[in-house]
């Protein structure tokens, strides 16, 4: 039965998936509304608005996932007219399905489809990650850390962390939880870094992964529990940091403060990668 539902979901939602000239997949809101059995598109518009709000609350840029477009539709006798539509990314579709009418069986099918597709992508990503060198893993994780820190900052702001000083104190609580009492300044000094150097640029992949988990879990907890007030937000970050530390201990892992500091920083690796790309000979088709 579960397999049958998955197969039906794949057929239903894959049938309206589109590919643009840049090989990017997308869906149109009008197509999705029809598949989700909304009798009129106007009834589906509140779902799109709720999906946008969920996207915004997750720290994502709404414009990256929802794009207002104009589409041509048949009106009979070969005539067409222009109508407003919304181009949706896979994530936007997922959010729309999550915010649809739960009484519709097709909504469950949609959730099954997008959950399965997401898991397949995760598995591919895991395989790709395992094939990376340590330097490549560090660069990738550092980029993810930068993105998730933006989302964490947005969630912290909603909780009442307003000024740069507030945010520095908030971040320090997270580090103290994860590093057994060491704050950002302590970590900076222990690694022997200059004042201008960032501690995240001088972490190996294991240490970066621990900090990424701390950041994502803190963001989710702040939003999920609607935490308000600087003291509660700081306490939450400290609590999550300690929880991640306990997990590392339970798994028999090395505490983050005992992990080695790599010889090369992330910026050094990125500069070396750019030089390597620049030195590569051009294809014959590029000659002349």
Whether residues 107 and 157 share a domain: the answer is no
For residue 262, what pLDDT is reported? 95
Q: Which helix (H) or strand (E) holds 119?
A: helix 105-130
For residue 263, what pLDDT is reported? 93
Q: What is the pTM of this model?
A: 0.57
Whether residues 8 and 88 share a domain: the answer is yes
Using the 3D structure, point to which of 115, 145, 163 is the last residue of a domain. Answer: 115
Whether residues 140 and 247 share a domain: the answer is yes
Query: What is the domain range of residue 235?
Result: 132-275
Whether residues 47 and 151 share a domain: the answer is no
Whether residues 103 and 142 share a domain: the answer is no
Does a structural domain hold residue 214? yes
Whether residues 106 and 153 share a domain: the answer is no
Chain position carrying tokens 């330097």: 135
Does a structural domain hold residue 271? yes
Query: Using CA atoms, how far apart are residues 69 and 85, in angstroms rounded to an integer?
Result: 5
Q: What SS3 state is found at 261?
A: coil
129 to 87, 137, 200, 219, 229: CA distances (angstroms): 30, 7, 19, 24, 38
Per-residue pLDDT tens digits for 151-174:
899 999 999 999 999 999 999 999
Whether residues 166 and 233 share a domain: the answer is yes
| Res. 182: pLDDT tops 90 | yes
Whether residues 85 and 138 share a domain: the answer is no
Using the 3D structure, point to which of 51, 85, 115 is the last residue of a domain. Answer: 115
Does a structural domain hold residue 285? no
| Res. 252: pLDDT tops 80 | yes
Burial class (CB in 10 A: 0-12, 13-18, 19+), 280: exposed
Average pLDDT on 227-253 reads 92
Does a structural domain hold residue 120? no
For residue 282, what pLDDT is reported? 55
* Mean confidence (pLDDT) of the chain: 83
For residue 265, what pLDDT is reported? 94
Domain count, the chain: 2
Q: What SS3 state is found at 266?
A: helix
Residues paired with residue 18 on neighbouring β-strands, in sequence order: 26
Whether residues 202 and 83 share a domain: the answer is no
Whether residues 143 and 248 share a domain: the answer is yes
- Give the list of residues 6+ apart from residue 100 with CB closer than 8 angstroms, or none: 36, 47, 107, 110
Whether residues 62 and 188 share a domain: the answer is no
DSSP state of 17: -
Q: Which residue has the higher pLDDT, 232 or 137?
A: 232
Q: What is the dihedral of CA 199, 200, 201, 205, to 10 degrees?
A: 130
128 to 69, 131, 132, 139: CA distances (angstroms): 34, 5, 7, 14
Whether residues 136 and 200 share a domain: the answer is yes
Q: What is the dihedral of CA 147, 95, 63, 35, to 10 degrees?
A: 150
């Amino acid at each position: 039965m579960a397999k049958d539902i998955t197969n039906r979901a794949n057929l239903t939602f894959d049938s309206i998936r589109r590919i643009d000239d840049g090989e990017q997949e997308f869906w149109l809101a009008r197509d999705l509304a029809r598949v989700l059995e909304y009798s009129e598109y106007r009834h589906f518009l509140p779902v799109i608005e709720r999906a946008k709000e969920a996207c915004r609350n997750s720290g994502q840029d709404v414009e990256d996932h929802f794009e207002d477009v104009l589409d041509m539709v048949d009106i009979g006798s070969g005539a067409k007219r222009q109508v407003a539509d919304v181009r949706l990314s896979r994530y936007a579709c997922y959010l729309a399905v999550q915010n649809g009418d739960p009484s519709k069986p097709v909504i469950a099918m949609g959730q099954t489809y997008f959950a399965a597709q997401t898991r397949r992508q995760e598995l591919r990503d895991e395989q790709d990650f395992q094939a990376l060198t340590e330097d490549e893993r560090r660069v990738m994780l550092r980029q993810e850390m930068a993105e998730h820190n933006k989302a964490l900052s947005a969630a912290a702001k909603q909780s009442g962390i307003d000024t740069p000083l507030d945010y520095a104190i908030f971040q320090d609580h997270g580090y103290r939880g994860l590093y057994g009492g060491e704050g950002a300044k302590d970590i900076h000094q222990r690694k022997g870094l200059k004042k201008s150097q960032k501690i995240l640029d001088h972490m190996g992949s294991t240490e970066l992964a621990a900090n990424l988990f701390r950041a994502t879990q803190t963001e989710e907890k702040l939003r999920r529990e609607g935490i308000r007030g600087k003291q509660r937000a700081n306490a939450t970050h400290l609590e999550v940091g300690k929880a991640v530390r306990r997990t590392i201990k339970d798994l028999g892992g090395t505490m983050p403060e005992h992990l080695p500091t790599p010889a090369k920083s992330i910026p050094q690796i990125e500069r070396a990668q750019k030089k390597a790309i620049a030195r590569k000979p051009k294809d014959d088709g590029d000659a002349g």
